[in-house]
Structure 1
Amino acid sequence: MFNPPSGPDFRTEGFSFNLLMKKETKTQESGTALPKDETSTKKKSSKAAAAESAETADAAAKPKEPEPDESDEAQDKADPICIVIPYLAAKAKGDELRYALRAWEKGMRSVRIVIVGDKPAWAGKALEHIPHKPVSTNPQVDVAHKMMAAIASDRVPDVFVWTNDDIYTLCPVELADIITLKSHGRLANRGKANGVYQENAKRTLEALRKNGVRDPYDYATHTPVFVEKEGLAEIIKAYGCDKEGHLVYTLYANSYFPDHRPTITQNDGRGSIIASVYRPNPDTRILDKVLATRKWINNNDAGWKALEPKLQALFPDKCSFEK
């Protein structure tokens, strides 16, 4: 039975806190002085106190210069969020990756992007690349190997965002939007009957139940997710994801957060997080509505025809990751 590590190092909330509080932590480590106990200081002489009082009065009489607003400067100096995207050019229907990159640059203030797999000819120097060739015809096994390549690479930090080339950010988003655990609901049969994805989902459900998670959630929501290297490596090894197909992030989230109550995405007219375009001829009124109200949108091969012109209109300009 797999017993996941416990403690803050394996909890997504802990990583988010460490990332967001890095500046404050460094300040504390540098030895910033704390207020002294007044009882431990010697009383100043009356002459010294009078001189100090006069200096204080002079300072008060002078107009104060406005203090600089450091919020923007601090944000600019913050470490960029690392976005990791697996990419297989042979499976792309068009310029999905190009629009995904443009969307990320527009939607988040500071990002680094690393692709694992193929590198398109139009990629600029800012787009970091980990070469990787497909190792399996089972998509989920291949994903596990690409995750392993990211884990092994110095280009990828200990915590990072994992997403896909066909997931597009539609509005400004914060790290908290990604960290929040999101689920379709309980894990059940999904995908085409007897298809590879359905078999992988069944295998995932059986593995989690065997290891004590009786009613696991389905975390394959087609939204970006936040992971850390050591815990992800442990999951891939413990469940043999590099050999048999599993829904890796569903294993990860259920194993480390078995009692969590995730946000349930509603991939319909009532949702606000994600929409999916899975038909070449969706209702254009609904498509325009979700483009204006969701945080992310994604497509499959059939939906690309309908979504491509919308993405062209939303993201017409080159980003820094293109030549």
Structure 2
Amino acid sequence: MAQLDLVVPVREAATNQQLRYALRSWRANLPHRRVWIVGHKPAWLGGVRHIPTRQTGTKYVNTTTAMRAACESPHVSDTFLYANDDMFVMDPLEEMPVLHRGPVREVEAYYAARASGSYLRGMRETRDLLVEHGHPDPLSYELHVPLPVDKAGMLAALDAGRALTVLHKRTAFGVLNRIGGERINDVKVLHRGPRFARDTPFLSTMPDSFAHGEVGRLIRSRFPSPSDYEYRGR
């Protein structure tokens, strides 16, 4: 199978150390062709392609803008890996599998018991949209791992959810395009402590857990050397 491009929406930030180490992990363990940074390109980044976008909306609107820009670019591979700057691949892969989080109804129940807000509202609105499109019990693809995406399918999902202010893009794409996949638990580590799954090839962090937590120390120790995506001395 031909290697795919990696597409990474990046918010405006000073240094973004999570992105630095995510790139190190992808270079070491995730086969890919080119890296496309969509949005903000930190000064230390080298050897990547860049699609600048305006970031004047919410983070959900900004990432939707970034995803549409990548899908509409003729230079990005027709199928690509959609990743965020806080996703780490800890073990070598031959190719990225398709993974999901189980039914949206179960993920919704998990979040509803802990919090409310725009993310949960967007999950429910996306679920309702998918039910209207003939998927009565849709799967959630809102995992903190890279996702294989085809441009035409993602654009169709973005168009279907155009009226939603917080579209769950991964889920809309995965369900509307019937991509299936294997179920895993989410790998996001929210805390500083040592209790997190270490028997998975994937990890994800919050800025605090990366900078001050045990999971961040593990990731930095695993990938101590700069990748060829970094200008030396920056």
Superposed displacement of residue 93, structure 1: 8.3
Residue 30 of structure 1: aligned partner: none
Residue 49 of structure 2: aligned partner: 128
Residue 70 of structure 1: aligned partner: none
- Choose from 167, 185, 193 the match for 1:246: 167
Residue 111 of structure 1: aligned partner: 33
- Choose from 35, 52, 69 the match for 1:149: 69
* Identical pairs, percent: 26
Return the index of the structure with the highest Cα Rg.
1
Question: In the alignment, does 2:176 pair up with 1:255?
Answer: yes
CA contact (8 A) 2:90 2:202 kept: yes
Cα distance in 2 for partners of 1:89, 1:312 equals 22
Q: Which runs of 5+ in 2 are unaligned?
A: none
Cα distance in 2 for partners of 1:99, 1:86 equals 15
Residue 299 of structure 1: aligned partner: 205
Residue 193 of structure 1: aligned partner: 115
Amino acid at match of 1:223: V
Question: In the alignment, does 2:85 pair up with 1:162?
Answer: no
Q: CA RMSD in A?
A: 2.1
CA contact (8 A) 2:8 2:38 kept: yes
Amino acid at match of 2:45: A
> What TM-score comes out, normalization by structure 1 length?
0.64
Structure 1's consecutive aligned runs of 4 or more residues displaced over 6 angstroms after TM superposition are none
* More deviation, 243-252/159-168: 243-252
Amino acid at match of 1:319: S
Superposed displacement of residue 173, structure 1: 0.8
- Choose from 19, 41, 47 the match for 1:97: 19
- Choose from 215, 219, 225 the match for 2:141: 219
* More deviation, 308-317/197-206: 308-317
Secondary structure of 1:122 counterpart: coil
Superposed displacement of residue 109, structure 1: 4.4
Amino acid at match of 1:135: T
Q: Which is helix-richer, 1 or 2?
A: 1
Residue 69 of structure 1: aligned partner: none
Cα distance in 2 for partners of 1:317, 1:143 equals 29
Cα distance in 2 for partners of 1:253, 1:146 equals 18
Superposed displacement of residue 302, structure 1: 3.8
Superposed displacement of residue 187, structure 1: 0.5
Cα distance in 2 for partners of 1:254, 1:80 equals 24
> What TM-score comes out, normalization by structure 2 length?
0.87
Map 1:34-73 onto structure 2 (within 5 A). none
Superposed displacement of residue 94, structure 1: 4.3
Superposed displacement of residue 219, structure 1: 1.1
Amino acid at match of 2:209: G
* More deviation, 218-227/148-157: 148-157
Residue 217 of structure 2: aligned partner: 309
Cα distance in 2 for partners of 1:109, 1:251 equals 25
Amino acid at match of 1:87: V
Residue 237 of structure 1: aligned partner: 159
Cα distance in 2 for partners of 1:110, 1:185 equals 27
